[in-house]
């Protein structure tokens, strides 16, 4: 064994490396707060590993992205867990990089001679934010689509260059195919490469200068003293001599911290998973766009800058934040690192943290003005298939389309679900001589199409329906000018739900939505009344 | 000058040194220029792309209610990158005395999908609290300008809007 190790040492010099990296002494006083950097590093590794695995089932195109994510989540073994880990790992990384930065800030660890370490860290911080922003477009769900729409509009506000910049970001004037491939390339190629680069610099410098010792209050130290740098160095050497070696003492602490956060992330990933909203739908005007929580403070801030000041908020404010971060080591110079000696700065730091927390909370609480309602996934799927199969080449809907087949408005009044199902499975069998081709649809596709077709009807409601609503629903639900706004506002419910769904929901809400707070009306109302009510809501709410 | 093993190590010639450095910089610069230039142009090219406009069918006129904004969706067959897609979109149409006003369905602030609140008779944006009147003017919130209007025309009993075709 010894021979092998010697052989290797002569060729790689690993003993020297081990000495410099693993055996180096860490100054006395380095405690648990110092594990945050390693935790962040761990998150990066976690994101790389889970990211690579997700990449094996992901297809970066608007046609397939959503389905591929859905597939890998629901059908690939462990897919759900891995996506959960990636999602919550991202959250964890934002938190840990932020806390790490705060530790460095409050301890004044960015001061001489570690300024460049700090700069590389600031770059890494922005990379983490960039990862977040580019990452959540990839599933191509509603959140992805609308958050990126807002992001692109923000870029557009930049004076003079805005339009060009937004186009560069989107790869064209609309959010589409090229946007997704761009974001994908940046998320999985550009940013990881840059992160590795800056991380290499960062870690090299950490080893080169040694981890900063906890700040000490030393009234005799000041930058008036011509050899304060030498004094700092000798004090550091002293502390270092009293400290323990990196391996295994510090690494032990790091490993404990990493295991702890891993358990947390694992727990949250198992518990919450990673939600996937409905497929991105540019035509949906009842969606309430909300960014990922770490952008909520920005989201909220945007509310306070009216009209013309917008450009200020979008260009100047970030610029100020970036410059402060980069200039920090020049603003706050000299040997004094203890928070007690940097009162104003520490105060400013606390104020900014409170500000960010405050705006984040405000942002999270801002009311959802669009009625919150889930879409019926089957109907949406059906609509997609309807478009994909180019049904409008032959059929007409809403006054547009071809004239070969029958008009489809109100088709649900003429045909019931059984007929529609049989028709899609084999048109010629049901209607000999029809020109409708057999598309060889799978069962799931037939079901979706039938669901969609069934929404195209004008089932009427009786004169009694409004009274039914007043008596049974108005005490909680708002509906176009009547009722209380306690539960969901139903004014536009017909845009998201068909009458059949509504009827089923009124009958037994929990069956349709396990989280429903509403009780069923199967006992209070007759089936005819429920249907009447559902038709009323659907027709008037369309 | 040769050392005993025959390897020449002449005295350093400062001019030769500068010359070599210049050559290194030159060759490196050349490679960097070609690669960086073409790469940058490739990456930035979307900014230079022009816009083409075309009329898109919004459906028959009788679909629109007098005096009440309604949502209308359209299908536009267009190129999206390397794909040709039937892209669907939606606009708000306000018909007043046979006069049609069509609003882009994105809030003029940062593009969120606003909605018509029929009780308040206002457009309400779900993002930063933007509120617009029926005619699109800003009533409250941060939007910097009224709702964007899209050019319209009526032809053969149908409403058409002028949209950007993506090249
Ligand atoms: S996007 Fe509508 S208010 Fe900001």
Burial A411-429 (b: 16+ CB within 10 A, else e): bbeebeeeebbbbbeebee
Residues B84, B77 contacting (CB under 8 angstroms): yes
Tokens found for residue B56: 């898109």
Residue of B92, B132, B140, B142 to test ligand 1 pocket, by largest number of atoms within 8 Å of CB: B142
**Contact across the interface for A173 and B164, Cβ inside 8 Å:** yes
Q: B115: which chain A residues are within 8 Å (Cβ-Cβ)?
A: 285-286, 369-370, 492
- Are residues A448 and A470 part of one domain? no
Residues A491, A527: one domain? yes
3-state secondary structure of A229: helix
On whether the CB atoms of residues A338 and A231 are closer than 8 A, the answer is: no
Residue with tokens 């609003």: B103
pLDDT at B167: 35
Residues A201 and A171 in one domain: yes
Report which of A539, A471, A473, A458 is spatially closest to residue A506, judged by C-alpha positions: A473
The span from the CA of A95 to the CA of A90, in Å, is 9
A244 within a domain of the structure (yes/no): yes
Domain-located, residue A16: yes
What's the CA gap between A314 and A157, in Å, rounded? 7
Considering the domain architecture, whether residues A477 and A421 belong to the same structural domain is answered as no
Residue A142's nearest CA partner among A75, A83, A66 is A66
pLDDT digit string (tens) for B114-167?
988 877 889 999 999 899 999 999 999 899 899 999 999 998 888 999 987 543
Closest residue, chain B, to A282 (C-alpha): B89
Residue B124 φ/ψ, nearest 5 degrees: -120, 130
A397 found inside a domain: yes
- Cite the DSSP H helix spans in chain B: 14-44
At which of A296, A314, A343 does a domain end? A296
The two tokens of residue A179 are: 């946007």
Same-domain pairing of A162 and A244: yes
Q: Return the pLDDT at A372.
A: 61
Q: What's the angle, vertex CA A30, arms to CA A24 and CA A34, rounded to 5?
A: 100
Q: What percent of chain A has pLDDT over 90?
A: 54
Please check whether residues A484 and A449 belong to one and the same domain: no
What is the overall mean pLDDT for chain A?
89
Residues A86 and A206 in one domain: yes
| Measured distance CA(B159)–CA(B161) in Å, rounded | 7
Across the beta sheet with B152-155, what order do the strands follow? B52-60, B158-165, B152-155
Domain ranges, residue A137: 2-215+240-296
Compute the count of residue pairs across chains A and B with CB atoms less than 8 Å apart. 146
A286 in any annotated domain: yes
Q: Are A246 and A195 found together in one domain? A: yes
> How far are the Cα atoms of A333, A403, A502, B108 from residue A369, in angstroms, in the given order?
48, 40, 21, 17
* ipTM of predicted complex: 0.89
- Chain B residues whose beta carbon lies within 8 Å of the beta carbon of residue A390: 86
Name the 3-class secondary structure at A301: helix
Work out the pLDDT band at A459, boundaries 50, 70, 90. low
Q: Which tokens belong to A271?
A: 């518990």
Tell me the C-alpha distance between B93 and B158, whole Å: 13
Picking from A370, A388, A401 by the largest number of B CB atoms within 10 A of its own CB, the best residue to mutate is A370
The reply to whether residue B89 touches residue A305, judged by beta carbons under 8 angstroms, is no
Distances (CA, A) of A114 to A128, A335, B58: 21, 12, 62
Residues 6+ apart with CB under 8 A from A454: A412, A417, A420, A498, A500
Q: Which residue of B has its CA nearest to A369?
A: B126
pLDDT (mean) for A196-210: 96
Q: What is the dihedral of CA A467, A468, A473, A479, to 10 degrees?
A: -50
Distances in Å between the Cα of B82 and the Cα atoms of A76, A171, B79, B87, B166 are 29, 12, 7, 14, 11
- Return d(Cα A77, Cα B126) in angstroms, integer: 38
Write down which residue in A453, A488, A514 finishes a domain.
Answer: A453
Q: What is the pTM of this model?
A: 0.84
Residue A331 lies in a domain: no
- Asked if B63 lies within 8 A of A398 by C-beta distance, the reply is yes
Residues contacting A97, CB < 8 A, separation 6+? A40, A43, A124, A125, A128
Same domain for A99 and A31, yes or no, is yes
Could you tell me if the CB of B123 is within 6 A of ligand 1?
no
Q: How far is the CA of A299 from the centre of ligand 1 (A)?
A: 10
Q: For a pLDDT cut of 70, what percent of chain A falls above it?
A: 98
The pLDDT tens digits for A126-145 are 999 999 999 989 999 999 99
Q: Are A332 and A105 in contact (CB under 8 A)?
A: no
DSSP string over A37-83: HHHHHHHHHHHHHHHHHHHTT---STTTHHHHHHHHHHTSTTHHHHH
CATH number at residue A33: 1.20.810.10
Cis omega (within 30 of 0) for bond into A248: yes
| Domain termination residue (choose one: A423, A453, A483) | A453
Domain tally, chain A: 3
A95 and A181 inside one domain: yes
The CA distance from A151 to A145, in Å, is 10
Same domain, A136 and A162: yes
C-alpha of A6 from chain center: 50
Measured in degrees and rounded to the nearest 5, phi and psi for residue A143 equal -60, -45
* Cβ–Cβ < 8 Å for A83, A72: yes
* Bridge partners (DSSP) listed for residue B100: B95
* Bridge partner list, B106: B113
Q: Is residue A334 part of a domain?
A: no
A472 and A527 co-located in one domain: yes
Ligand 1 pocket mutation pick from B92, B107, B124 by most atoms within 8 angstroms of CB: B107
**Which residues does A461 contact at the CB level (< 8 Å), separation at least 6?**
A532, A533, A535, A536, A539
Write the CATH number for A410.
1.10.760.10
Q: Pick the range with the lowest mean pLDDT from A342-351, A459-468, B96-105.
A: A459-468
Q: Does residue A341 belong to any structural domain of this protein?
A: no
pLDDT of residue A142: 92
Residue A327 domain-assigned (yes or no): no
* Most confidently modeled range among A197-206, A307-316, A375-384: A197-206
Please state whether the peptide bond connecting residue A113 to the residue before it is cis, i.e. omega within 30 degrees of 0: yes
What is residue A189's predicted lDDT score, i.e. its pLDDT? 97
Q: What residues pair up with A292 in beta bridges, in sequence order?
A: none
Mutate to test the interface with A, among B49, B142, B154, B163 (most CBs of A within 10 A): B142
């Amino acid at each position: 064994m010894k021979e092998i190790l010697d052989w290797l040492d002569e060729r790689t010099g690993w003993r020297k490396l081990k000495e410099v990296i693993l055996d180096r002494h860490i100054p006395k006083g380095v405690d648990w707060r110092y594990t945050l950097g390693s935790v962040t590093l761990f998150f990066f590794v976690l994101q790389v590993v889970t990211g690579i695995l997700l990449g094996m089932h992901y297809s970066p195109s608007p046609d397939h992205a959503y389905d591929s994510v859905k597939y890998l989540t629901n059908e690939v073994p462990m897919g759900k867990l891995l996506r959960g880990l990636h999602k919550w790992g991202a959250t964890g990384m934002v938190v840990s990089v932020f806390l790490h930065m705060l530790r460095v800030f409050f301890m004044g660890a960015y001061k001489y001679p570690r300024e460049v370490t700090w700069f590389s860290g600031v770059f890494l911080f922005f990379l983490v934010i960039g990862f977040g922003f580019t990452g959540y477009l990839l599933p191509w769900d509603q959140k992805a689509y609308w958050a990126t729409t807002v992001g692109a509009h923000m870029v557009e506000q930049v004076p003079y260059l805005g339009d060009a910049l937004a186009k560069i970001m989107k790869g064209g004037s609309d959010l589409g195919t090229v946007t997704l491939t761009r974001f994908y390339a940046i998320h999985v190629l550009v940013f990881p490469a840059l992160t590795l680069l800056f991380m290499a610099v960062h870690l090299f410098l950490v080893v080169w200068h040694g981890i900063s010792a906890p700040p000490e209050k030393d009234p005799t130290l000041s930058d008036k003293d011509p050899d304060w740098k030498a004094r700092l160095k000798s004090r550091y050497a002293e502390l270092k001599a009293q400290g323990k070696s990196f391996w295994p003492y510090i690494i032990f602490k790091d490993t404990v911290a990493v295991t702890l956060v891993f358990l947390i992330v694992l727990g949250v990933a198992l518990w919450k998973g990673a939600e996937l909203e409905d497929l991105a739908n540019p035509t949906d005007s009842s969606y309430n766009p909300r960014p990922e929580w770490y952008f909520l403070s920005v989201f909220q801030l945007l509310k306070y800058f009216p009209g013309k000041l917008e450009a200020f908020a979008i260009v100047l404010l970030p610029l100020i934040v970036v410059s402060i971060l980069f200039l920090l080591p020049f603003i706050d110079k000299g040997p004094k690192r203890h928070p007690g000696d940097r009162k104003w700065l520490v105060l400013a730091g606390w104020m900014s943290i409170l500000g960010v927390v405050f705006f984040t909370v405000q942002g999270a609480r801002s009311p959802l003005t669009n009625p919150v309602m889930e879409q019926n996934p089957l109907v949406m799927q059906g609509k997609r298939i309807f478009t994909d199969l180019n049904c409008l080449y032959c059929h007409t809907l809403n006054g547009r389309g071809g004239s070969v087949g029958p008009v489809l408005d109100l088709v649900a009044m003429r045909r019931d679900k059984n007929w529609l199902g049989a028709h899609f499975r084999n048109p010629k069998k049901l209607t000999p001589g029809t020109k409708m081709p057999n598309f060889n649809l799978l069962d799931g596709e037939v079901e979706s199409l039938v669901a969609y077709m069934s929404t195209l009807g004008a089932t009427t409601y009786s004169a009694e329906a409004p009274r039914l609503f007043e008596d049974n629903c108005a005490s909680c639900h708002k509906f176009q000018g009547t009722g209380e706004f306690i539960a969901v506002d139903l004014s536009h419910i017909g845009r998201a739900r068909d009458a059949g769904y509504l009827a089923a929901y009124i009958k037994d809400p929990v069956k349709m939505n396990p989280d429903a707070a509403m009780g069923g009306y199967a006992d209070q109302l007759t089936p005819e009344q429920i249907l009447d009510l559902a038709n009323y809501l659907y027709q008037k709410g369309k | 000058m040769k050392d005993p093993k025959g390897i020449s190590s002449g005295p350093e010639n400062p001019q030769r040194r500068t010359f070599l450095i210049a050559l290194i910089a030159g060759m490196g610069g050349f490679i960097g220029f070609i690669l960086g230039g073409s790469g940058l142009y490739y990456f930035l090219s979307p900014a230079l792309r022009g816009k083409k406009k075309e009329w898109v069918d919004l459906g028959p006129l009788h679909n629109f209610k007098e005096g009440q904004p309604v949502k209308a969706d359209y299908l536009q067959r267009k190129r999206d990158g390397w794909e040709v897609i039937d892209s669907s979109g939606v606009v708000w149409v306000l018909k007043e005395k046979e006069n049609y006003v069509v609003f882009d369905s994105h809030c003029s602030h940062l593009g969120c999908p606003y909605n018509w609140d029929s009780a308040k008779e206002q457009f309400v944006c779900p993002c930063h609290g933007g509120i617009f009147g029926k005619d699109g003017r800003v009533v409250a919130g941060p939007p910097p300008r009224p709702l964007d209007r899209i050019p319209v025309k009526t032809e053969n009993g149908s409403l058409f809007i002028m949209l950007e075709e993506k090249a």
